[in-house]
Amino acid sequence: EALVHLDLSVNNLTGKIPSSLFMLKNLSIVFLYRNQLSGEIPRVVEALNIDVIDLSDNKLTGSIPDDFGRLRNMTGLSLFFNQLSGKIPDSIGRLPSLRVLKVFSNNLSGTLPPDFGRYSTLVEFQVADNKLEGELPKHLCDNGRLVGVVAFNNNLTGELPKSLGNCNGLMFVNVYNNWISGDIPSGLWTLLNLRVLILSDNSFTDELPQRVARNLSRLEINNNFFSGTIPAGVSSWRNLVVFEASNNLFTGTIPRELTSLPNLTTLFLDQNRLSGSLPPDIISWKTLNTLNFCRNKISGPIPEKLGNLAGLTELDLSENQLSGQIPLQLGLLKLTLLNLSSNHLTGRIPTQFENDAYASSFLNNLALCSNKPSLNINSCNNSDHRKPRKVPSKYLPLIISFVAAALLSVVVAMICIYRKGKHGFDSTWKFTTFQRVNFKESDILSGFTEYNVIGSGGSGKVYRVVVNDSSNFVAVKRIGNNRKPKQMLEKEFHAEVKILGSIRHSNIVKLLCCMSNENSKLLVCEYSENRSLDQWLHRKSRASSTSSSVQHVVLDWPKRLQIAVGAAQGLYFMHHNCSPPIVHRDVKSRRARTPVVNEKIDVYSFGVILLELTTGREARYGDEHTSLAKWAWHYIKDDIPIVDALDEEIKEPSYLEGMSSVFILGIICTNTEPSKRPSMKEVVQILHKCNQPLVYGEKIAARH
């Protein structure tokens, strides 16, 4: 009865929470976080003097007790990283003392209590990674003390609360992957203390302001409907480190002022409608390591000054209208990713790029050449191929006859094709779009050759097809198999269309359109050039900038962890946010970016990727009787130090703890018993703990 403060956190406690715990009337503090507790939270609560409850990071199920809404003295409630379901009781939203609410990473559903922030001085509001619906409470910052709003990975709709625009203490807003729409509340952009604003994967419609918060370091607005131009006032965004604005509706040119940001490390403006030339001068991009302007309408030359950015490791300018030669200075950079495909570049590529690591970096530039056949572009060897040669007159009759015969053959072939189309196979195509497209069905049909096949599966082949006058690529899956009945093919096609057409997630490729006729079914998806983890993890060679020798290009651990988190989020979305759950069934490092069987199949495959990322070894590592997964299991079975298994090329002391944790996670995911493998939701949670603290706006280890 006299117990006031109970702290049994960070142990290995199992079983249920005793029902009598919350009957202790003097109880004030309950810390049971980071254990293995299961079952439901006791429903009856008589300890009405409780100040803080922290039951996070356990395996609790059931719903949040209604009696928690009676705890008028409670200032903090932390239930994150559990398996709680049901609705958040409305009475909790009316608690007068509540300052901190952390219930992220559960299975909570329904709408949020509308009174959050109305009766209490709310400071932290973290409800991310659930299945919540409706709008964010409009009173969230009525008292002006709110520091953070974290609500990503839900099904929230409506607009951002207007009260956020006057929330002077607000430091971070993270609401990506919802259905929130409208403009950003007036005043939010310029809040004095705002540091992180993540709005990606929603339906916002607004323009960028001339000024933003002085302390803003991270701005992510990918996959929305922002429009207008990049303002010249961007030069005042001095503390910005990450700026991601992919797949919006921005127009105009890229202003020179954008190059003046001294702390910028990451810049994504791909998949917009930007035009004009790139700024020839770069004022201050000393820390920039990732630059992506692909899929715009940018013209003119590639600036030579890009070669002076010593820290640049990823450069994607593909699918634009760039012209001229590739600056030799780019060869001085240590690029792990380079994509200049689908432009109008000319001349010879720099010798530093003439190796297999850049096999997909220069495709579809008809006037580029190289002496490396594996680069799949024209050869420069024939030095006099541009000089016209006079044909001896005695050969003219023979040549004329040959040309005439060839023309006749073409005419006959066209007639045959016409008749074939008229009588059956390719007569009428139904063309259904799901995104904005700038190509015709004839562009797709012309690309069905064996040369363009990039993959195949049980239901058909996948083609890489050039569209839009050789300036873009798409991936086309042709569903067709002579061994399958027509009804089964029809069912497979409609199943995939229904699945892909409904998915909105930045880590899953978009379905652009579909085409069908009586005999063929086509799925046309976005094509991600040069995004193969397999290529950069296992074929990591690059010519030296000072000689023709070959040196290794290595993905460091932060980049590998970022890849793991992105892929895991995509699989988590398919498993837990789609109804019914979608199983990929073919997760490989060659496809890392991207009908209903057990989801644990994907978990195993993803576990293999984690082992590849941590060890640097290929999935088939070992002899004919073993594999990477079996090899890794021996480190646990035989009690061998895990550090011995990690990739020597990135094994820095500061990374060892994180790498070891991910290696162990890979082993758990590849358990031979599917029931013992974690869910993708649990995988994402563990990876987030290894990742940077900004995911939830704080370090997971931090407590009240």
The burial class, CB within 10 Å (0-12 / 13-18 / 19+), for 593 is: middle
Separation of alpha carbons 119 and 242, rounded Å: 36
Report whether pLDDT(451) > 60.
Answer: yes
Q: How far apart are alpha carbons 266 and 315 in whole angstroms?
A: 11
pLDDT of res. 477: 84
Q: What tokens appear for 202 in the block?
A: 């929603």
Question: Are residues 27 and 146 both part of a single domain?
Answer: yes
pLDDT at 692 > cutoff 60 = no
What pLDDT, on the 0 to 100 scale, is given for residue 582?
52
Residues near 163 by beta carbon (within 8 Å), at least 6 away in sequence:
117, 138, 139, 140, 141, 142, 185
Q: Is the pLDDT score of 593 beyond 50? A: no
pLDDT at 243 over 50: yes
The Cα 519–Cα 516 span in angstroms is 8
Split at pLDDT 50, 70, 90, the class of 491 is low
Q: How much is the pLDDT for 435?
A: 73
- Is the model's pTM score more than 0.85? no
**456 has pLDDT over 70:** no
CATH number at 85 reads 3.80.10.10
CA dihedral sign, ordered 224, 229, 230, 234: negative
Give the SS3 label for residue 5. strand
Report how far residue 596's alpha carbon sits from residue 601's, in angstroms, rounded to the nearest whole number. Answer: 11
CA-to-CA distance for 103 and 245, rounded, in angstroms? 29
Claim to verify: residue 517 and residue 561 sit in the same structural domain = no
E strands, 193-241, in order: 196-198, 203-204, 218-220, 227-228
> Is 691 a residue whose pLDDT tops 50?
yes
Between CA 554 and CA 550 the distance in angstroms is: 13
Reference 172, options 676, 605, 699; nearest CA is 699
Are residues 346 and 430 located together in one domain of the fold? no
pLDDT value for 579: 53
Residues in the chain: 704
Query: What is the reported pLDDT for 522?
Result: 84
Positive or negative CA dihedral for 70, 76, 81, 87?
Answer: positive
Whether 321 has a pLDDT exceeding 50, the answer reads: yes
Residue 102 in marked binding region: no
What percent of the chain has a predicted confidence (pLDDT) above 90? Answer: 49
Residue 390 has pLDDT above 50, yes or no: no
The predicted structure's pLDDT at residue 465: 86
533 belongs to a structural domain? no
394 versus 658: the higher-pLDDT residue is 658
Domain that holds residue 287: 207-382
Residue 485 confidence (pLDDT): 52
Of 219 and 433, more confident: 219
Q: With pLDDT > 70 as the criterion, what percentage of the chain qualifies? A: 77
pLDDT at 389 over 60: no
Q: Tell me whether the omega of the peptide bond preceding residue 327 falls within 30 degrees of 0, making it cis.
A: no
Q: What are phi and psi of 590, to 5 degrees?
A: -70, -20
626 and 510 fall within a common domain: no
Q: Are 242 and 317 found together in one domain?
A: yes
Pick from 258, 255, 316, 263: nearest CA to 288: 263
Q: Classify residue 516: in a domain, yes or no.
A: yes
Q: Measured between alpha carbons, how far is residue 678 from residues 312, 603, 668 in Å? A: 37, 7, 7
Same domain, 263 and 346: yes
| Half-sphere exposure in the Cβ direction for 351 (13 Å, CA) | 7
Residue 564's CB is within 10 A of a number of other CB atoms, namely 26
Nearest to 312 by CA among 561, 553, 528: 553
Strand partners of residue 349 = none
Residue 172, pLDDT score: 94
Is pLDDT above 70 for 607? yes
CATH number of the CATH domain containing 467 = 3.30.200.20
Q: Are residues 488 and 619 in the same domain?
A: no
Considering the candidates 316, 586, 644, 647, report the single residue annotated as catalytic: 586
- Domain shared by 116 and 246, yes or no: no
Q: Between helices 680-690 and 656-669, what is the axis angle to 10°?
A: 170
State the pLDDT at residue 37. 96
Strand order in 85-86's β-sheet? 85-86, 107-111, 131-134, 155-156
Q: What is the mean pLDDT of residues 368-389?
A: 67
Do the domain assignments include residue 673? yes
Given the structure tokens 């109008």, which residue do they identify?
344
Per-residue confidence band for 29, with pLDDT thresholds at 50, 70 and 90: very high
Computed over every residue of the chain, the mean pLDDT equals: 81
Please indicate whether residue 67 is annotated as part of the active site: no
Which pLDDT score is estimated for 586? 43
In this structure, are 607 and 519 located in the same domain? no
- For residue 147, pLDDT over 50 is answered with yes
**DSSP per-residue codes, 127-196:** --SSEEEEPPPTTTTTTS---EEE--SSEE-S---GGGGG-TT--EEE--SS--EEPPPTTTTT-TT--E
pLDDT for res 196:
95
Cβ(79)–Cβ(64) under 8 Å? yes
Domain boundary (158, 189, 218) is at 158
Strand-pairing partners, residue 348, are 369
Is 683 domain-assigned? Answer: yes
Lowest mean pLDDT among 269-273, 504-508, 559-563: 504-508
pLDDT tens digits, 176-213: 999 999 999 989 999 999 999 999 999 999 999 999 99
What is the SS3 string spanning 534-598? HHHHHCCEEECCCCCCEEECCCCHHHHHHHHHHHHHHHHHHHHCCCCCCCCCCCCHHHCCCCCCC
pLDDT over 60 (residue 426): no
Residue 417 resides in a domain: no
Cα(563)–Cα(531) distance, integer angstroms: 10
Whether residues 233 and 131 share a domain: the answer is no
Res. 497: pLDDT tops 80: no
Greatest mean pLDDT among 6-10, 373-377, 594-598: 6-10
| End residue of a domain, out of 505, 526, 547 | 526
* Distance from chain centroid for Cα 19: 43
CATH code of the domain containing 586:
1.10.510.10
> Tokens 């003392």 identify what position?
97
pLDDT of residue 699 exceeding 50: no
Distance of alpha carbon 360 from alpha carbon 342, whole angstroms: 11
| pLDDT 10s digits, 528-576 | 664 456 555 655 444 443 344 444 457 788 888 888 888 888 788 776 6
**pLDDT score of 502:** 59
Which string of DSSP letters, residue by residue, matches 337-400?
EEE--SSEEEEEPPGGG-SGGGTTSSTT-TEEEES-GGG-SEES--TTTTS--PPPGGGHHHHH
Ranking 211-215, 368-372, 384-388 by mean pLDDT, the lowest is 384-388
* Position 8 confidence tier, pLDDT thresholds 50, 70, 90: very high
In this structure, are residues 476 and 444 in contact, taking their beta carbons and an 8 Å threshold? yes
Q: What is the pLDDT of residue 399?
A: 47
pLDDT of residue 344: 95
Please tell me the least confidently modeled range out of 306-315, 527-536, 557-566, 660-669. Answer: 527-536
Give me 695's structure tokens. Answer: 């995911």
Kind and range of the H or E element at 490? helix 486-502
Residue 472: C-alpha distances to residues 189, 275, 315, 364 (Å): 35, 16, 18, 9
Handedness of CA 237, 243, 249, 255 (dihedral sign): positive
> Count H helices, E strands: the chain?
9, 39
Between strands 218-220 and 275-277, the pairing is unpaired
Whole-number Å distance between alpha carbons of 89 and 111:
10
Q: Specify the pLDDT at position 585.
A: 42
In which residue are the tokens 């190509």 written?
439
Q: What is residue 553's predicted lDDT score, i.e. its pLDDT?
A: 59
Residues 6+ positions from 673 with CB-CB distance below 8 Å: none
- Cβ–Cβ under 8 Å, residues 351 and 331: yes
Q: Per the domain annotation, does 267 fall within a domain?
A: yes
The CA–CA distances, whole Å, from 500 to 394, 462, 518, 573, 667 equal 61, 15, 21, 12, 30
Query: Looking at per-residue confidence, does 532 or 169 come out higher?
Result: 169
Domain assignment of residue 412, yes or no: no
Rounded Cα gap, residues 663 and 661, in angstroms: 5
Domain boundary among 329, 348, 382: 382
Please report where in the chains the tokens 């053959």 appear, as a residue.
409
Domain-embedded: residue 178 = no
> Are 522 and 565 in the same domain?
no
- How far is 165 from 138, CA to CA, in rounded Å? 11
pLDDT confidence of residue 423: 36
Give residue-wise pLDDT tens across range 610-654.
999 999 888 766 554 468 888 898 888 888 888 889 988 888 888
Comparing 30-44, 47-61, 568-582, which segment has the lowest mean pLDDT?
A: 568-582
- Of the listed ranges 51-55, 133-137, 423-427, the least confidently predicted one is 423-427
Domain count within the chain: 4
| Residues 564 and 505 reside in one and the same domain | no
